[in-house]
Amino acid sequence: MLKRTHNCGELTAENVGQTVILNGWVDAYRDFGGLVFIDLRDRYGITQVVFEPDQGEALIAAARDLRSEFCIGVQGTVAKRLTGKENPKLATGQVEMRVSELQVYNESATPPFDIQAGDANEELRLKYRFLDLRRPELQKVFIMRHKMNQIMRKSLSDQGFLEFETPILGRSTPEGARDFLVPSRLHKGHFYALPQSPQLYKQILMMSGMDRYFQIARCFRDEDLRANRQPEFTQLDVEMSFVQDEDIMTSMEPLVANLAQEFTGSAPQLPLLRIDYQECMEKYGVDRPDLRFDVEIKDLADLAPRTSFQVIQIAVQNGDRVRGLCAPGGAKYTRKEIDGLTAYVAEFGAKGLIWLKVEDTGLTGPTAKFLPEDVQKELIERFSAKTGDMIFAVAGPQGVTHQALSNLRIRLGAELKLYDPSTYHYSWVVRFPLLHWDAEEKRYVAEHHPFTMPLPEDLHYLDTDPTKVRAQAYDLVVNGEECGGGTIRCHDPVIQAKIFSLLGLSPEDAQEKFGFLLSALSFGAPPHGGIALGIDRMVMLFSGLTNIRDCIAFPKTARGYDLMTGAPGQVDLKQLRELYVRVVD
C-alpha cells in the first residue's frame, strides 16, 4: 500500500516540490488521451492529480482505466499549477500532484446513482448508504455531530458532571410510548424493554449521591415515524441533585450558547427568555412557538356581542373561542390564495377562516360588513395593524383554534417572509400542566412523565382539581422545534404515591412496576431534576436540514425499515423457540 503522507484537503503552495502520497476516491476523471486528470477525494477535500506522458506509457494506460469511486493511492510531487490554471473552488487549487506511481486498492462497480450530484431519490440513497455517506454534504453533518458531542462532553465534564452508562435491557414500565420488547431466553414469557429514556436510572443515580450525571444516551420508542422522529434517537441526558428548575435551565444555557456560537456563528443573550406555558398557548397556540417573528394570537370573543356576525356570536355562546392574528403584509394574498389558507386551517378542524384586509379606509372582506366602525377600529388597534396587513380569525373549540392558528402563523411567517430563516431563536417554555384528563382511558395522564414534581403552590389542587396543577417542567424551544425538556422530580414518596393514584396506578401496581423507585425514595432521596436535549434535532437545526434522517448515519424509513441491512428481518424458528416466542396472526 502507498501509505498517505497528506490528506486530500491540505496541500498548498507551501508543499511545492515535496514528494507526497495521497489516498482517496476518484471523484472525477478527465481523460485527454495523453494526459489524465483525476480529482482525488477524501473527507478532507479534493486534490487534482495529473498523469503525464513523461512518466511512461504504462502509468498513463493505468490512469485511463480509472473510473468514478475507485479507491486508489498515488505518489508524486507537488507542483504549482500552470499560471492561469489554478482552481479557486478548491482549497488545494493552487497546486496539483504529478503522479509517478499509482495503486488501485479497489475498483468500483458503476455507482447506482450520481454521488456528486446528490439528487438521487432517498430510497436509493438509503439502500446504498455507504455511498451516500461519501458525499461531502453529509460528511459535514456528521463532523458537526461529532463536534457537538465533544462540546457537550467537555462542557458538562468541566462543570463536574460524571458520564454514566445505563442499561439498554431494562423493564417495561406503564405510561409513555410503546416499548420495544426483547424476549428473555432465561425466563419464559418475560421480556426486557429498551429504554424510552434512562429516566429512572438517572434518578436512582442521584439517590446514590452521584450528584451530577450525564449520558449521550440512545432512546427507543416504538411509535410511528415522522420527518423529525425516528424510533431510536439520541439524547444528551442530564440530572442534578439539590436543584430547582431555574438551576437546571441556568446550567444548560452556557452549553446551548456554546453550541450556538460554534455552529451558527452567534450566541443568544443569556438568560434565555422564559415563557409561561399558559401564556405561550394563548399567544402562539402551541407549546413550541417559533419566536423568530413576533406575530401573536389574540382573543376576539369579547367583540362578538358588538357585531352582527352570527357565526362568532353562536361560537361564543357555545363556549367556543374566537381568536385571530394579524399578518403583516398579508393583504396581498389573492382570493385564491386565501382559499388555500382556508383549506389549510380546515385540516386542523377549523370550520372557516375569517379574513379582513386592512386598508386606509378600514377593514374589507366578505365579513367586514358585520363589524361596526368602532369594532373595526378596535380590531385594528388591538393588533396594531397597518394598511396592507391582513387579520385572520378562527372560531371554534379551544384545541381547534390553537392548532389552526398556530399552524397558520407558521405558514404565514414563511410565506410572507416575516423572519430571516438563517437566524435562530432559543427560549424556555415553563410550568407545563402536570396532568391532563384522558377521556378515552378515563384517567389522568402525565403530561411529561409520572415522576414530575408539582409546583409547591399548586400541590393542594392534587386533591381538588388535578388538571390545574402545574409542574416544575421546562422545554427548550429552538425555532419552533422542541429541542429538549426536563423536570424537577418528585423526591417525596407521599406526593409520588398520590400522583400514581391519579394516573390510575393502584398502590400494588405502583409497587410492582416502580417498587425500586419508591424504595429508593424512602432512603434519603435528594431533591433533584434534569433535562434531556435531542441531539439529532439539534444537529438538524444547526445544519439547516428539514429531516432527521440525514442527521443519523443509518436511519430508518417512515415504515421503520433499514433499507441497507433489510432490518427488521425474519429469524430462524430455532431462535424463536429458544425465546418461547411464536408468531401468530
Query: By C-beta, is 185 or 436 nearer to RNA?
Result: 436
The minimum distance between CB 269 and RNA, in angstroms, equals 30
Q: Does 543 bind RNA (CB under 7 A)?
A: no
Residues 349-388 that bind RNA (CB under 7 A): none
The minimum distance between CB 211 and RNA, in angstroms, equals 21
User: Cα dist. 504→367, 437, 445, 469, 511 in Å?
Assistant: 48, 11, 9, 17, 13
- Sequence letter at residue 173: T
**Cα 365 versus chain centre, distance:** 39
Cβ–Cβ under 8 Å, residues 257 and 270: yes
Q: Does 441 bind RNA (CB under 7 A)?
A: no
Query: By C-beta, is 218 or 229 nearer to RNA?
Result: 229
DSSP class of residue 368 equals G
The minimum distance between CB 307 and RNA, in angstroms, equals 31
Among 81, 351, 382, 425, contact with RNA (rule: CB under 7 A): 81
3-state SS string over 29-67? EEECCCCEEEEEEECCEEEEEEECHHHCHHHHHHHHCCC
* Piece of 154-162, 263-271, 454-462, 553-561 that binds RNA (CB under 7 A): 553-561
Q: Does 569 bind RNA (CB under 7 A)?
A: no
* Piece of 90-98, 158-166, 278-286, 302-310 that binds RNA (CB under 7 A): 90-98
Cβ–Cβ under 8 Å, residues 257 and 267: yes
CA pair distance 113, 370, nearest whole angstrom: 60
Q: Does 264 bind RNA (CB under 7 A)?
A: no
Query: By C-beta, is 39 or 245 nearer to RNA?
Result: 39
Q: Does 290 bind RNA (CB under 7 A)?
A: no
The minimum distance between CB 320 and RNA, in angstroms, equals 18
The minimum distance between CB 171 and RNA, in angstroms, equals 13
User: Cα dist. 527→197, 360, 420, 458 in Å?
Assistant: 20, 59, 42, 18
Using the structure block, give the residue that is written with the C-alpha cell 408468531. 583
- Grid cell in block for residue 539: 444537529
Residues 1-30 that bind RNA (CB under 7 A): 28, 30
- Count residues binding RNA (CB under 7 A): 68
Per-position x/- string for 99-138, each x denoting binding to RNA as judged by CB under 7 A, each - no binding = -----------xxxxx--x-xxxxxx-x------------
Burial zone of 390 (CB within 10 Å; 0-12 exposed, 13-18 middle, 19+ buried): buried
Residues 161-220 that bind RNA (CB under 7 A): 175-178, 196-197, 199
Per-position x/- string for 307-346, each x denoting binding to RNA as judged by CB under 7 A, each - no binding = ----------------------------------------
Per-position x/- string for 30-69, each x denoting binding to RNA as judged by CB under 7 A, each - no binding = xxxxxx-x-x--------x-x-xxx---------x--xx-
**Cα 560 versus chain centre, distance:** 18
The per-residue b/e assignment along 556-578, b for 16 or more CB within 10 angstroms, e otherwise, is beeeeebbeeeeeeeeeeeeeee
User: Cα dist. 521→172, 241, 296, 516 in Å?
Assistant: 20, 13, 43, 9
**Could you please report the per-residue DSSP string of 373-404?**
HHHHHHHHHHTT--TT-EEEEEEE-HHHHHHH
Q: Does 422 bind RNA (CB under 7 A)?
A: no
- Sequence letter at residue 402: H
CA pair distance 322, 313, nearest whole angstrom: 9
Q: Does 515 bind RNA (CB under 7 A)?
A: no
Angle of helix 136-158 versus helix 535-542 axis, rounded to 10:
120
Q: Does 301 bind RNA (CB under 7 A)?
A: no
The minimum distance between CB 389 and RNA, in angstroms, equals 27
Query: By C-beta, is 355 or 432 nearer to RNA?
Result: 432
Full strand arrangement of the beta sheet holding 473-478: 162-163, 212-220, 232-241, 528-534, 481-488, 473-478, 426-430, 273-276
Residues 446-475 that bind RNA (CB under 7 A): 446-450
List contacts with RNA (CB under 7 A): 28, 30-35, 37, 39, 48, 50, 52-54, 64, 67-68, 81-82, 85-87, 89-90, 93, 96, 110-114, 117, 119-124, 126, 175-178, 196-197, 199, 221, 223-229, 347, 445-450, 547, 549, 557-559, 561, 563
